[in-house]
Chain A
Amino acid sequence: MLFRERLLGTLRLVRPLFDIPGVLVVGSEVPNLLEPGAAATLVVSQDVDIGVPVDIHGRVKDVLSGIAGLRPARDEPSVWLPEPPGLLEVNFLGIDPSLRDAGESRVLDDPVLPLMVFGPLSLLRPGPRLVLEGMAVPVPALSGLLVEKLVTERSGMKGDRDLLVAMGLLLVARDHDMEETAVLFRSLPAELRHAVRSNLTLLSLMQPVRGMPDPTPHRRLIADLLRTLEEHGEKGEGA
């Protein structure tokens, strides 16, 4: 089964969740979905992240209980495993708009669907739904997802992968996405603005990773984004 079929098959399985306003497909699969025809050639990832605003957590649990062919992993209760072969794991993440920084991350304790609530996910806002094979998939606006990937503090290979997902987003971004990114960047606290710039420099110097977008041919794009963001308020603020 092609990766694209696995991805779209997984989305079809969880499709009832997409009827709940606020639920978003987030994370590394979004660049794949934003490619023309959701070609899914940019990022190799074995899960689909679903963002759940904490105020609709109960509703998501109700709908989830009615989806056949999906059950929670024993050791990782925020990850649900598909029963049909070949589909991807579904990873649920909490979104709390009152949080902002990674330092404010927390656990939403629940016996059925506990969630890791990461502060930077609050940067996400719903974008236009993607219509894929007759299915309307809620995804965040690219700008929020890009900035979220660039402020999220992670280590090692996971951190590298996050930056390469940001690279994938840059490759599918349009003018208005970059304008929104610059505006969002300006709204961040100075420490997070610095984190964005620092992570972009890391991305610029990163070596290729198999199955991920290669930043090397696109370093000029990163340089231009850095200059643009710095013109949007970083210089002169001592950050």
Chain B
Amino acid sequence: MNPHPAIPSMHRRVRQVRSRAAVRAWEYRQRHLAKGVWFRLRRLLAEASSAWEIPEAACSRLMTEGFCPEAVGEELEPRKTLLFVPETRLSGIPDRRLLPLRLGPELLAARHIALVRFPRLDSLRRSASCASEVSCGVHDRPTRRGSPAGQGL
């Protein structure tokens, strides 16, 4: 039996899928190096319900209080200071500015960023309206260890 005449195009698509898989494998091997910084930054942002640009002085004050900068900020050039801060503490910073939570120009241009962490859901069961669920009491506190979510990423 002769092969279908459209088979070459299917083989071409398979080659494209394989080449993307090869790129992914390379990126995986590079994950602890500079190539992995975007994943680490996205991972951090995925943990945040909101992101705020804050004045440098306010950022310094937060660090004096013990809030520890996330390591990934040090990997960027120019460096950024990214801190997880409780919403209640953040509300005391008058000149804060809400940033869109995506790797867009506003977030990338900001140098001092406060993040508010999502509270953990109390079970794996989530609902479509999870934003209305009650916080289960995970809070960010001043720490010298930084964010658990930020470690080892």
Question: A residues near B, CB below 8 A?
Answer: 74-78, 101-103, 105-107, 109-112, 114, 116, 118, 153-155, 170-171, 173-175, 178-179, 182, 190-191, 194-195, 197-198, 200-202, 204-207, 217-224, 226-228, 235-236, 238-239
Task: With both chains docked as a complex, state the minimum distance between the C-beta of A137 and any C-beta of chain B, in angstroms.
Answer: 23
Known: A75-B6, A116-B13. A204 touches B42 (CB 8 A): yes
Q: Give which listed residue, B6, B25, B119, contacts A77 with CB less than 8 A.
A: B6
Q: Report the Cα distance A198→B40, complex, angstroms.
A: 9
Complex contact A191–B25 (CB within 8 A): yes
Complex contact B46–A219 (CB within 8 A): yes
Complex contact B14–A76 (CB within 8 A): no
Known: A223-B118, A227-B120. A114 touches B21 (CB 8 A): no
Known: A102-B17, A179-B124, A220-B121. A111 touches B39 (CB 8 A): no
Q: Given known contacts A110-B4, A223-B46, A224-B121, what 17 new A-B pairs fall within 8 Å (CB)?
A: A102-B24, A103-B22, A105-B14, A105-B17, A107-B7, A153-B20, A178-B125, A194-B28, A201-B39, A202-B42, A204-B45, A204-B101, A218-B128, A223-B47, A224-B120, A227-B149, A228-B124
B103 within 8 A of A: yes
Which residues on A sit within 8 Å (CB–CB) of B129? Answer: 217
Q: Report the Cα distance A179→B126, complex, angstroms.
A: 12
- Encoded as 1 (CB less than 8 Å from any A CB) or 0, chain B from 108 to 151 comes to 00000000001111011110111100000000000000000100
Which residues on A sit within 8 Å (CB–CB) of B32? Answer: 238
Which residues on A sit within 8 Å (CB–CB) of B88? Answer: none
- Encoded as 1 (CB less than 8 Å from any A CB) or 0, chain B from 1 to 35 comes to 11110110111011001101111110010011000
Q: Report the Cα distance A159→B22, complex, angstroms.
A: 16
Known: A101-B21, A228-B124. A222 touches B46 (CB 8 A): yes
Q: Report the Cα distance A110→B4, complex, angstroms.
A: 6
Known: A111-B2, A111-B4. A103 touches B49 (CB 8 A): no
Complex contact B42–A205 (CB within 8 A): yes
B102 within 8 A of A: yes
Complex contact A194–B6 (CB within 8 A): no
**Could you give 25 example pairs across A and B, Cβ below 8 Å?**
A102-B21, A103-B21, A103-B22, A105-B21, A107-B11, A114-B3, A114-B6, A153-B23, A153-B24, A182-B124, A197-B39, A198-B42, A204-B46, A204-B101, A205-B102, A217-B131, A220-B121, A221-B121, A222-B46, A223-B46, A224-B118, A226-B43, A226-B46, A235-B152, A238-B152
